[in-house]
Amino acid sequence: MTGLRLMLAALAMTAAAPVWAETTAPVAVTDTVAEGLSQRLFPMLSALGRLPGLDTRARAARIAACGDGPACVVEATMWSDQDRAAVAAAVARLGKAGVRQNADLSVTAGVDQELEALNVVLRVYGLGLPGRYPKIDGPVFAADTPFFADSVKVAIDTARAASQARPDTIAASVRLAVALLDANDATAATRFDPLDQRENARAQAVAARTNWSAYRYSLLIVPGVGPEDSATVLSPRSKLHALLAAQRYRQGLAPFILVSGSAVHPRGTRFVEAVEIRRALIERYGIPADHVILEPYARHTTTNLRNATRRMVALGIPLDRPTLIVTDAEQSKYIESATFTDRNRAELGYLPGAVGRRLSVYDLEFRPSRLSLRQDPRDPLDP
């Protein structure tokens, strides 16, 4: 027995140490949701990281003076006009090195737009102030409830636990904005990524071998219209849009149907307009799945057209040919109106394309514009 005991003791002494160990040092982990949102909403700021030559001492003192007050921390984290001017100067000294440009915007303008977008997220999801579309977007809890205050506190804790960046830095601001969006499940901007490697992969393959000159239009653009109750999967108007699109496709007007629309109406719905219209086209009308392009991000008629252009560029569909917008008579008339033109200029800053001839009460020609490739994180659910 003595020999057995000695052997067991020797084995115990040489046994490997446990894989866990008590430590106060944070362990770096990769959060795919946070990383995806950071890159989607703030690609330029994320590339800058800790911007060399940027003096943030005043910001650091402002944030430190807040202690643990969540509303104070959020407000102090916002980028003031003075802060943004300092960033612009630092970016100008840095030049374009290591910074991805936002379409036709200058690097300085693109960076400032992302700083403005940070402020939008902090105001709406951190302070509870109304955003541009308060009826369909915004925090889960009302700003005057303890639940809202607690969600903000936890978002601050999450951001600080996830990043070792000082609270006054650009990197820390990005992480806080992302944590606030995540706390409110406002992560729609990356819900379907990578969209064109999954849902649209087969359509992309067909587009690569399509003879565009054989068709009058390169694309049928079909905007969704959401129902006003959470139980309805597909609104009557969207059902009409699907029928009209199926008819035009069978007529041979275009090789593809692009369906556009996110989960918008009513607020909190789980049904994505584009997904459900696509399902109707395939299941009800027998349209080939690889000829239906999914655009599941647009939340407004303005971005239906903007995002359609983005998908065209991503899938290799030419922009030098007209497309056809197929929708109900009321929305079609609205798209043609001066009111819609003014809204595009006010909300997007440009026209996503040129509206052309009217073929019927349901059909409008449309020529997309490359200006639609500008990313705009000031609308964080669909930049």
Q: Per-residue confidence at 98, pLDDT binned at 50, 70, 90?
A: low
pLDDT of 43-73, one tens digit each? 999 888 677 778 899 999 999 999 889 999 9
Q: Is residue 11 part of a domain?
A: no
Q: Is residue 124 part of a domain?
A: yes
Asked if 237 and 247 count as a contact pair (C-beta separation under 8 A), the reply is no
Same domain membership, residue 223 and residue 360: yes
Residues 6+ apart with CB under 8 A from 365: 217, 322, 323, 324, 325, 355, 356, 357, 358, 359
Q: Please state, in angstroms and as integers, the Cα–Cα distance from residue 4 to each residue in 13, 16, 100, 141, 350, following that order.
A: 14, 20, 67, 65, 84
C-beta atoms surrounding 9 within 10 Å: 10
Look at residue 8 and tell me whether its pLDDT is greater than 60: no
Token pair, residue 29, equals 């982990």
Tell me how far apart the alpha carbons of residues 140 and 159 are, in angstroms, rounded to a whole number. 19
Task: Supply the Cα-derived Rg of the chain in whole angstroms.
Answer: 25
Look at residue 355 and tell me whether its pLDDT is greater than 80: yes
- Write out the H or E segment, with its range, that includes residue 109: helix 107-121
| Boundary-marking domain end, from 189, 224, 252 | 189
Same domain membership, residue 205 and residue 174: no
Predicted local distance difference test score (pLDDT) of residue 286? 98
| Boundary-marking domain end, from 189, 222, 244 | 189
pLDDT of 9-29, one tens digit each? 554 544 455 555 555 666 778
Same domain membership, residue 145 and residue 269: no
Q: Is residue 19 part of a domain?
A: no
Predicted local distance difference test score (pLDDT) of residue 7? 54
Same domain membership, residue 185 and residue 55: yes
Q: Is residue 5 part of a domain?
A: no
pTM for the model stands at: 0.89
Same domain membership, residue 171 and residue 158: yes
Same domain membership, residue 207 and residue 181: no
Total of domains in the chain? 2
Predicted local distance difference test score (pLDDT) of residue 222? 98
Look at residue 267 and tell me whether its pLDDT is greater than 80: yes
Predicted local distance difference test score (pLDDT) of residue 102? 85
CATH code: domain of residue 247: 3.40.50
| Boundary-marking domain end, from 189, 215, 235 | 189
Predicted local distance difference test score (pLDDT) of residue 348? 96
Tell me how far apart the alpha carbons of residues 268 and 181 are, in angstroms, rounded to a whole number. 15
Same domain membership, residue 218 and residue 104: no
Please count the CA atoms within 13 angstroms of the CA of 175 that sit on its side-chain side: 22
> How does strand 220-223 pair with strand 257-260?
parallel
pLDDT of 126-156, one tens digit each? 999 999 999 999 999 999 999 999 999 999 9
Predicted local distance difference test score (pLDDT) of residue 5? 58
Higher pLDDT, 81 or 228: 81
Predicted local distance difference test score (pLDDT) of residue 235? 96
Look at residue 1 and tell me whether its pLDDT is greater than 60: no
Q: Is residue 13 part of a domain?
A: no
